[in-house]
Amino acid sequence: MNQRIVILLFSLSFIGVLVQPIADRWLPVAVSESPYVVIPSHNDEVRDCQPLIEKLKRAPDWETRLYDPVISTPEQLEDRIRTYEEIYSCLSQSVLPLSAEQQSILRLTGFFLIFTDGLYAAEGGSTLDIVDLSVVDDPAIQRIRDQAGVPAPPGYVFVRSYASREAMPLPIRQIFEELNVAGVTMFTRYIAVLDENKSTWAERALQVQSLPRTISHELVHTYVNSNLGIDEINRLPTWYHEGLAIYFSHSGENQAIITPNFTLYTTPPPDYIQYDLNFKFLEANLGRELLLEKVRQSIANGESRILLEGLDIMNESELPSRSLAWKAEQEQIRTIGGTAVLLIMAYLLISGRLNQIPSPAASCEACGSIYWLWNKSKLHQHSPPARIWIEGDLGAEFPYSKHVHQVCQRCSTESQELRKAYEERMLRELASAREQANRVYRTWLQFAPLHADQSDQNISLLPIEEAIITFTEAALATKYSPPWQKDSAAFEFADSSRADEPDFITSAPAGYKDVVQAISPSADTRLNLLGSVAKNLAGNVIIIWREATQRNKF
């Protein structure tokens, strides 16, 4: 039996940075080190920026709009980007010393352009998601909006994802210098997350679990911050901001990937474990419904003390010690209960009465429910074991499966529904991936090398549109097979082109030689036919085949 090794790969970090730390720590550093390159002007004249500043200040609440840009339509966004680009360009090129007000405007318009327009991000190194909190189906936002009843703030939230730390502008990169930082909320509606390409499949598998919760966590911060307004954010303490984001996003839970030989997992930092425990204590003592009501009231009033009313806690500083004591008490209760059961069983065993107690026939291997001898028929037996789908932490569309020998009727029914939901999500994902791969291979095939000699019989000749479809299906087969693409593609990408396990849906192979192989060209043998890609003089795509190895299928 393989020994299971627990490896701590990295710590989840969902750090919500509020306005004061940003204003006092990061922005002055950014200005003093001059991280901004100068936007070239169209002429050599020295521009007077003051008319632009005066025009900006004529708008109602102009300063609040800089910190909290409430934008609800694409037209408003385009107009604001144009306005702020003109102001930022003028101020950043000024040869005259800037006043304190002008420096503040330079910083704030700079941050707006960083998040909305990708200012100073490395080319192709970032993507933007524009989120409407009133309709987004993120699970954390659904809990705070639909269950707690906290009204959705108006306007978009801007989520900027960076492929690496090097792709980030300096003011953002400074925040991510700590390696355990995965996401940050700035002001009321700016989110930056690190979505870098991991080097191993295990790290990528963990990232698939952790990144959605990172974004959910940060979206809760923007939800609360936008409701409070820029001047009221600091009225709620850190334990409230972070604890609430953890509570609704479930980002305080460990993430794990189980493999045949070991378990890989991530664990949140100690402070986040404490914030998570605080809210578990509150829910246990108040009940979920009352806690959600108090959350709504506390955000509406900007008062965290509301959560502690009725708990005999005089000061918020007592909350960590009270929650730790509650946790210890729960563990003691479980220990005493388990010990009592063991003592009773020992007594019955010694007294010879153990055989008088009806024993459970079995338990459902999906949900763990116990079924006694008299209702054993409610368990479905499977030999060989059947595959059952179970709802995951991210909801019904993200289930996981396991093979079981016995399962109850309820789990069997839910399994079918979950499998259908999973298949529907996968089909939507495949449709999106197919569109993206089509674009990738349309470009990739344009640069295929020219092959004029067609006397070789070991070729496949494909019109360009058919070739695009062929290589798109090969990319999908490489990523999703089995089971989703196993019968729908004739080719897949060769092992030699997958040394670093790239995702060929978003990026084509680097070369054109020996990159594709036939999946099953023969019924009796597995012919490992490798193909190189080229174009002929007529502009059609050809695959030049060679037989690398031949082996029996069995």
Percentage of the residues of the chain whose pLDDT score is greater than 70: 77
Query: Does the pLDDT of residue 148 top 60, yes or no?
Result: yes
What is the per-residue DSSP string for 329-381? Answer: HHHHHHHHHHHHHHHHHHHHHHHT-GGGSPPEEEE-TTT--EEEGGGGGGEEE
Q: Nearest-CA neighbor of 283 among 317, 315, 330?
A: 330
Confidence of residue 42 (pLDDT cuts 50, 70, 90): very low
Q: Which residue has the higher pLDDT, 16 or 362?
A: 362
**Digit-coded pLDDT (tens) for 320-332:** 999 999 999 998 8
Query: 68: which residues sit within 8 A by CB, 6+ positions away?
Result: 187, 188, 189, 226, 229, 230
Which pLDDT score is estimated for 38? 38
Q: What are the structure tokens assigned to 471, written together? A: 């290589």
With residue 5 as reference, give the H or E element that holds it.
strand 5-11
Query: Does the pLDDT of residue 393 top 80, yes or no?
Result: no
**Cβ 266 vs Cβ 254: under 8 Å:** yes
Contacts of 501-507 spanning 24+ positions with Cβ under 8 A = 501/201, 503/479, 504/437, 504/440, 504/474, 504/475, 504/478, 504/479, 505/433, 505/436, 505/437, 505/440, 505/475, 505/476, 505/479, 506/436, 506/437, 506/440, 507/440
Tell me the average pLDDT of the chain.
Answer: 80
- The whole-number average pLDDT for the span 234-247 is 94
Q: Which residue has the higher pLDDT, 519 or 132?
A: 132
* DSSP structural state of residue 525: E
Query: 179: which residues sit within 8 A by CB, 6+ positions away?
Result: 10
Confidence of residue 357 (pLDDT cuts 50, 70, 90): low
Query: 401: which residues sit within 8 A by CB, 6+ positions away?
Result: 387, 388, 389, 390, 419
**Cβ 186 vs Cβ 17: under 8 Å:** yes
Query: Of 17-26, 58-67, 435-444, 496-505, which range is least confident?
Result: 17-26
Q: Which residue has the higher pLDDT, 509 or 150?
A: 150
Q: What are the structure tokens assigned to 314, written together? A: 């005089």
Query: Does the pLDDT of residue 219 top 50, yes or no?
Result: yes
- The whole-number average pLDDT for the span 336-360 is 71
Query: Does the pLDDT of residue 280 top 90, yes or no?
Result: yes
Q: What single letter denotes the amino acid at residue 478? A: T
Strands (E), 133-261: 156-162, 183-186, 190-194, 255-258
Q: What are the structure tokens assigned to 97, written together? A: 């010393």
**Digit-coded pLDDT (tens) for 410-460:** 888 888 888 888 788 878 888 888 899 899 999 999 888 988 666 666 788
Query: Of 137-146, 390-399, 443-452, which range is least confident?
Result: 390-399
pTM of the model: 0.59
